[in-house]
A = this chain, B = another copy of it.
Amino acid sequence: MDRKTFNLTLTCKNRPGIVAAISNYIFETGGDIEDAQQFDDKNSGHFFMRVTFSCEKHDADIARLRAGFMPIVERFGLTWHLRSPLELRRVMIMVSKQDHCLVDLLYRWRIGELPMIISGIVSNHPRETYSNVDFGGIPFHHLPIDNTTKLAQEQKLWHLICETGTEMVVLARYMQVLSDDLSAKLSGWCINVHHSFLPGFKGAKPYHQAYARGVKLIGATAHFITSDLDEGPIIEQDVTRVCHSDAPDDLVRKGRDLERQVLARGLRYYLNDRVLINGTTAVVFAD
């Protein structure tokens, strides 16, 4: 079709008339609503919405659409984003020794499952750690770290994030705890995958904790980074069955499949403008 699509996401204090105002505006501007999801949080009194609409090409000037939308923004006090799915976000992937999430994300990106531009791959391990992985021209940065260099490493990292125009950071089993300062800077645009079903087994070696506790399911969690370790808003979780005969190594193996999928699904939701932060939790308009 000769139409262009846009994703509109917004949040505000709830009150009557929001949906009418938005759907009218889209209709009057020549748009057709293709999908819409909304959520009234009765608890906080906040309203969240995601609308996908399409326009004829000649109507599809995003600057014009944004300008025309301003009266509604002001009327309802909206926090909002209007994006074309064709404007890909620049995403930096950070990794440590274990590369299963990295390899998985690269594959999904290559076949078109993850609409993004990878602005760089950062590791605290050298390039040869991933000798079998084709980075296909994506810049790789080795930023080694130890107890004495953490501050300097994070400064280099931040510089890199800024310099590359990175809009989102993915911790794809990056096994370093970010400082409070960097966590705060990345708040809301950095996703981590934790290898447990949070809030169980926060912190180090969650599979060993799970083994010791004798749980019958293990999990993985994709969540936003905040300065409070493993406490950020949860985007996606999943679990798989284990039993008494599974040693920690078996949990690690079974967990790899979970981590890959949970991170990829969480990231895809984010890239498709399906994730809106709601205080300490996340509204996820899943597909």
Contacts and interface: CB of A to CB of B under 8 A. Distances in A.
A167 interface: no
Given A34-B40, A244-B39, A247-B42, A198 B217 contact: no
B27 A16 contact: yes
Interface stretch (A157-165, A175-183, A229-237): A229-237
Contact of A216 (B26, B133, B136, B237): B237
A119 B59 CA distance: 55
A178 B141 CA distance: 47
A124 interface: no
Contacts of A111: 100
A76 interface: no
- For chain A, the bracket of interface size reads 35 or more
B132 A134 contact: yes
B38 A36 contact: yes
Contacts of A40: 34-35
B39 A286 contact: no
A145 to B, nearest CB: 24
10 contacts: A16-B33, A18-B33, A19-B23, A133-B134, A197-B217, A197-B239, A199-B215, A215-B237, A217-B219, A257-B261
Identify the 6 closest CB pairs spanning chains A and B, nearest first: A214-B281, A20-B27, A20-B23, A200-B200, A16-B32, A216-B237
